[in-house]
Amino acid sequence: MTKDFMFLSNRELKTQQLFLTLVDLLADHPLASIKVTVLCRQAGISRTFFYRHFKSPEDIIASEFTRRRDQYLHTLVREQIHDPFAQTVRFFELFNSFREPAKQLINANLRYILYFHFRDWLKNLVETQLLQTTLQNPKYWTVYLAGGLSEMILLWLQNEPPQSPEQMAQMVFNFINIQTNPTDN
């Protein structure tokens, strides 16, 4: 069992198993042809559990994003990470572990699902001021930044060999012209 599974509740473990099974099935089948019965049987999870928590297989993917977002935010609080550069490195570290499932989703023509989830999550980070801006039109900046970073993350997840989380964080800071050490003015 990987480190990723160590602190998950029973529900989270079942959801994670559904997600991993869905990703495996997508290697050979388009999403529209994957039946809930087959997904649940292969995951070893009851259909009752599935229908109690999800409306569709896409909801399983959304749930995985929510779990990773919550894990990221919990890590920032637990480790008291306040530096924007360190927060960005931690973000890329977290999603580095998502590389193989992301590739499978992209290969299954589900890139749009990843894009929309990344975009919405990044917009939320800006709107909640975890990523801060002093621009006059923060709505436009938010959309611009979230869209660009989403594309950048998707490209990075597919890149072999990948750049390190530190390299990616530096690239993000270079692109948006943020100094990594604000005291060096």
The domain in which residue 85 lies consists of 3-175
Q: What is the pLDDT of residues 62-97, one digit of tens each?
A: 999 888 888 888 888 899 988 888 988 998 998 888
Instruction: Please tell me the pTM assigned to this model.
Output: 0.79
In a domain, 139, yes or no: yes
Confidence grade of residue 1 (pLDDT, cut at 50, 70, 90): very low
Q: Tell me the H-state helices in 27-110.
A: 36-43, 47-53, 57-78, 84-96, 99-107
Total count of domains within the chain: 1
pLDDT at 49 > cutoff 50? yes
CATH number at 145 reads 1.10.357.10
In a domain, 91, yes or no: yes
pLDDT at 158 > cutoff 80? yes
